[in-house]
Amino acid sequence: MRRIIGVKNSTTNWAVLRECGQEPLQLFWFRASISFFTSMLDSNSETLRCVLKADLHLASFDSSCWSAQASNAFNGLQGSAMFKQKMLRATQVSMQEFICDLRFRHLKVWREAGFSCPRAVNKKAVTYHKWCGSSESGPRGSPSSIPSYLYKDLDKHVLRNFSRFRLSAHHLRVESCKWHGGSSICDKCECGEVQDEKCVLLSCKCAEMCELRMRYRDLFEGMFKALRAFAPLSSEFNPFLACHHSITSFEINAFLNQDS
Ligand SMILES: [Zn+2]
């Protein structure tokens, strides 16, 4: 998946999966295992049912048997005790309840990221979740959908650069200062802000950024609307946000995930 969207190997796994609208392989493996267990319970083969019961009985003595390993995999789920009990008693596990619980466990990374501010913690997962990650759910109950830019007929390098920008796989100072050292403050203008996605997108006053915002003015106009009320001429378009203008993470996320 990293190769498809053109980001480097060190890019956060969870963010890459979410950007591609995918769920972790462990989810499919565990779902298939429980589905297999349910099928064995319902099997019309007496021998197979007996083998399963023997394995379930063995689980309390031998941690290497299939039932013991499958049962241990329930650890960390909200209904862990209930699922384990059902399995060891050879009764049906509700697939719907189980998959919901499993997804809830996998979404822990985003729930934790939701409590932090990207500029306060400087973690890729937090930046991605707050500013870039789409919150739309995908097909078949998947918690993430594929962002609209991946459906567009974009030039390969444009698509790659956009993915890199969204997944913090770029060379902005907020990232480069981690391995090169030095300051994370923007060196392209006097904005004095940390040079991160938010700065590049909205605040940086360097000519290149301003020119880009002017070119895609229709996209930025809504966000810069509040400033226009204070501009000398209300028709003037100011291509950057002033330092006193605060913008929320939610607004940045909505901007980056708009369908345009
Ligand atoms: Zn700047």
Rounded to the nearest angstrom, the distance between the alpha carbon of 199 and the centre of ligand 1 is: 7
Same domain, 96 and 146: no
Same domain, 82 and 205: no
Same domain, 125 and 10: yes
What pLDDT sits at residue 226?
59
**Residue at 69 is within a domain:** yes
Interhelix angle 46-58/25-41, nearest 10 degrees: 120
**Residue at 53 is within a domain:** yes
The Cβ of residue 231 has, within 10 Å, a number of other Cβ atoms equal to: 12
CA-only gyration radius of the chain, Å = 25
**Residue at 45 is within a domain:** yes
Count: domains in the chain: 3
Rounded to the nearest angstrom, the distance between the alpha carbon of 174 and the centre of ligand 1 is: 12
**Residue at 178 is within a domain:** no
What pLDDT sits at residue 260?
67
Same domain, 32 and 83: yes
Residues of the chain with pLDDT under 70: 225-236, 243, 260
The Cβ of residue 142 has, within 10 Å, a number of other Cβ atoms equal to: 15
What pLDDT sits at residue 35?
92
Rounded to the nearest angstrom, the distance between the alpha carbon of 131 and the centre of ligand 1 is: 19
Rounded to the nearest angstrom, the distance between the alpha carbon of 45 and the centre of ligand 1 is: 70
**Residue at 185 is within a domain:** no
Q: Which residues have C-beta within 8 Å of that of residue 60, sequence separation ≥ 6?
A: 68, 88
Rounded to the nearest angstrom, the distance between the alpha carbon of 15 and the centre of ligand 1 is: 26
Q: How far is residue 244's CA from residue 36's CA, in Å, rounded to a whole number?
A: 59
What pLDDT sits at residue 78?
92
SS3 185: strand
Rounded to the nearest angstrom, the distance between the alpha carbon of 138 and the centre of ligand 1 is: 36
Domain end call among 56, 76, 106: 106
Rounded to the nearest angstrom, the distance between the alpha carbon of 181 and the centre of ligand 1 is: 18
Contact yes or no for 150/202 (Cβ under 8 A): no
Domain end call among 66, 83, 106: 106
Same domain, 225 and 119: no
Same domain, 29 and 102: yes
The residues whose Cβ lies within 5 A of ligand 1, an ion, are 186, 188-189, 191, 204
What pLDDT sits at residue 151?
85
Same domain, 131 and 12: yes
Q: Which residue has the tokens 């940086």?
A: 204
Supply the DSSP symbol for 199: I
Rounded to the nearest angstrom, the distance between the alpha carbon of 224 and the centre of ligand 1 is: 17
Which domain range does residue 101 map to?
A: 25-106
**Residue at 184 is within a domain:** no
Same domain, 101 and 112: no
Summarised one tens digit per residue, pLDDT across range 228-255 is: 555 555 556 777 877 677 788 888 888 8
Q: How far is residue 149's CA from residue 134's CA, in Å, rounded to a whole number?
A: 11
Rounded to the nearest angstrom, the distance between the alpha carbon of 180 and the centre of ligand 1 is: 19
Domain end call among 106, 133, 157: 106
Same domain, 145 and 161: yes
Same domain, 157 and 199: no
Same domain, 129 and 82: no
Same domain, 96 and 195: no
What pLDDT sits at residue 229?
56
What pLDDT sits at residue 184?
86
